[in-house]
Amino acid sequence: MTSADVEASEHVWDGVPMLVSLEDLSEDTWSFLRDEAMRAMHYAYVPYSSYPVGAAALVDDGRIVSGANIENASFGVTLCAECSLVSDLFMSGGGRLVAFDCVDGAGQTLVPCGRCRQLLFEHGGNDLMLNMPSGKVPMSVVLPEAFGPDHLSSDAQGAGPAKH
């Protein structure tokens, strides 16, 4: 299946929701994610930088979510493709991210910035696989010893000074 076969409003990988895991990640899956990231990149709004970015991810229930960067004249409120992707994740039913890919306007693999790594960690955890220029690696390598929701639980906070 290519991205041409998938309408922008569809969020299911092959038409039938299914549970997916890391073992399901084949080269065809990564190729499909790359096609979806390229499709999303065409929706980028980049009148200031002229640097479109598209991102796509596989969700644990088989959906594909995607996003593109959306610039703003007040640069601080610009949305990156990863933010747009996480919005799509929640607008289409939530879940956990399993695999992630991000491309620039030329289709080259991009590395998520620190802010975006934190955002992706929140919704995929240590096992989320990312396509990086060096290859496919888990989030635990991309963002080692990440701060996350577990650090905010009452058990993790303890009774003494704040733990970081």
Q: Is residue 7 situated within a structural domain?
A: no
Q: Is residue 149 situated within a structural domain?
A: no
> Which residue is catalytic, options 7, 82, 122, 145?
82
Q: Is residue 159 situated within a structural domain?
A: no
Q: Is residue 148 situated within a structural domain?
A: no
Distance CA 37, CA 40 (A): 5
Q: How many CB atoms lie within 10 A of CB 74?
A: 7
End-to-end CA distance of the chain: 45
CB burial of residue 27 (10 Å; 0-12, 13-18, 19+): exposed
Distance CA 78, CA 111 (A): 18
Q: Is residue 89 situated within a structural domain?
A: yes
pLDDT tens sequence across 16-25:
667 888 888 9
Residue 13's pLDDT is 52
Q: Is residue 4 situated within a structural domain?
A: no
Q: How many folded domains does the chain comprise?
A: 1
Torsional class of 74: left (φ above 0), alpha (ψ -120 to 50), beta (otherwise): beta
Model pTM?
Answer: 0.82
pLDDT tens sequence across 112-149:
999 999 999 999 999 999 999 999 999 999 999 999 99
Mean pLDDT of the chain: 87
* CATH code where residue 29 lies: 3.40.140.10
Residue 157's pLDDT is 56
The CA distances from residue 20 to 38, 118, 121, in Å, are 22, 23, 18
Token pair of 139, please? 């989030």
Q: Is residue 107 situated within a structural domain?
A: yes
Is 82 part of the annotated catalytic residue set?
yes
Q: Is residue 3 situated within a structural domain?
A: no
pLDDT at 73 over 90: yes
Q: Which of 13-17, 40-44, 68-72 has the lowest mean pLDDT?
A: 13-17
Contact 128, 139 (CB under 8 A): yes
Q: Which has more pLDDT, 121 or 15? A: 121
What DSSP letter does each residue of 18-79 carry, written as one string? ----GGG--HHHHHHHHHHHHHHHTT-B-TTT---EEEEEEETTSBEEEEE-B--SSGGGPB
Give the range of the structural domain holding residue 84, as residue numbers without chain letter.
25-142
pLDDT tens sequence across 80-122:
999 999 999 999 999 999 999 999 999 999 999 999 999 999 9
